[in-house]
Copies of this chain bind each other. A is one copy, B any other.
Amino acid sequence: MIKVAVWGTGMMGQGLLRYLLDRPKDVELVGVIDRHPEKHGLTVGEVVGSDCDIPVTADHDSVLAKRPDVMCILTASNLHEISDQVEPSVRAGANVLCIAETLSYPWASDPAWAERFDALAKEHGVSILGTGVNPGFVLDALVVMWSSACLRVDRIEAQRINDLSPFGPTVMISQGVGATVEEFERGVADGSIVGHIGFPESIHLIARALGWTIDEVVETREPIVSTVERSTPHVHVALGNVCGCRHIGKGYSNGELKIELVHPQQIHPEMEGVVTGDYIRIVGDPNVNMVNSPEMPGGKGTYASTGNYIPLIGAAPAGILTVVDMPLPRFWAPSV
């Protein structure tokens, strides 16, 4: 039995909780933390629709007092937002798995943060690992896996084409869906349209695994302009307006383009014949030309891969790790 605690009961946390409750002979769920007052007093069972009577609490000390082996943090995207969750967990001797996109390679966005938490984790003999499907799998670890069958890797191009239609109004705004082209350009400039979080991280993960030096990462966000009308319950896109954001990250070594990651996110891609999927192209010897269609779903893939690292993190060395420092990951079959 591995003692696991979960921090965060939003969509991602709920998905991971269901995954954990599916493994009653493998996982002892020792506590669940959420800072939102509306979750307090609820049981995990009430939150995820099962019969688990563990209460959701804001009191992380009471959960950490139960000495979890692993703390799974599913709360936010940025390092400064997770500091207050990672730090007490590490000090309590728990290994940390966390879906914050920037934690997949924290040296990219905040090297000082990475250095501080790497030292703290080593001091307490625990590991910190950023997990998720993107970054963490499709556009980095899976690319690295494929490269292992190559004699030569000259350049990597990977693309993840997905459908934003199921998402709510917040995502529509942050991706610029429904905006005019002018509004989109303004939103990119003022930072209100962000696109994807994780390109510098994925690029550096590939480089770390392959021993490449990437000295420049360039990101661009382009409007996907619709030539048809598209709608969801939350947004209407008039002809000529923006139905999504084509976000591109490029990694250069000495001025040479080595890694190009493309992530166009839009509503109803099928209306203009765009097929969703995960695409990996390695230009080398031999070439790789991989498609997974439709794409690995972002939500399920993220909490699945987080859960599937639980049995692997216990044997990992202390400090901040990345998915390319870990064993070959695999599905964790529940004991019967």
Contacts and interface: CB of A to CB of B under 8 A. Distances in A.
A331 B296 contact: no
Contacts of A284: 331
A330 B330 CA distance: 17
B297 A289 contact: no
Contact of A286 (B137, B141, B301, B307): B301
Nearest to A292: B290
A211 B23 CA distance: 13
A210 B331 CA distance: 6
Contact of A19 (B145, B151, B304, B335): B151
A294 B281 CA distance: 12
A148 interface: yes
B145 A145 contact: yes
B293 A289 contact: yes
Interface residues of A, number: 52
Interface stretch (A73-81, A174-182, A186-194, A321-329): A321-329
Copies in the complex: 2
Grouping DSSP codes into helix (H, G, I), strand (E, B) and loop, the A interface class, with mixed when no group exceeds half, is mixed
B324 A328 contact: yes
Contact of A327 (B290, B300, B328): B328
Interface in A2-51: 15, 19, 22
A251 to B, nearest CB: 14
B333 A211 contact: yes
Nearest to A312: B148
A137 B153 contact: no
Contacts of A324: 328, 330
Contact of A326 (B141, B327, B331): B327
A10 to B, nearest CB: 17
A144 B141 CA distance: 13
Contacts of A210: 330-331, 333
Contact of A329 (B15, B148, B288): B148
Given A19-B151, A151-B304, A210-B330, A290 B290 contact: yes
A133 interface: yes
Nearest to A293: B289
A308 interface: yes
B305 A286 contact: no
A228 interface: no
Contacts of A331: 144, 147-148, 150, 153, 210, 284
Contacts of A137: 148-149
A146 B137 CA distance: 9
22 contacts: A15-B151, A137-B149, A142-B146, A145-B145, A145-B330, A147-B308, A148-B331, A149-B296, A153-B331, A209-B328, A210-B330, A211-B333, A212-B333, A284-B331, A285-B300, A289-B292, A289-B293, A290-B292, A291-B292, A291-B293, A323-B328, A327-B328
Given A145-B330, A149-B296, A149-B308, 14 more contacts: A137-B148, A141-B328, A145-B145, A145-B329, A146-B292, A148-B331, A150-B308, A209-B328, A286-B297, A286-B300, A289-B294, A290-B290, A291-B291, A291-B292
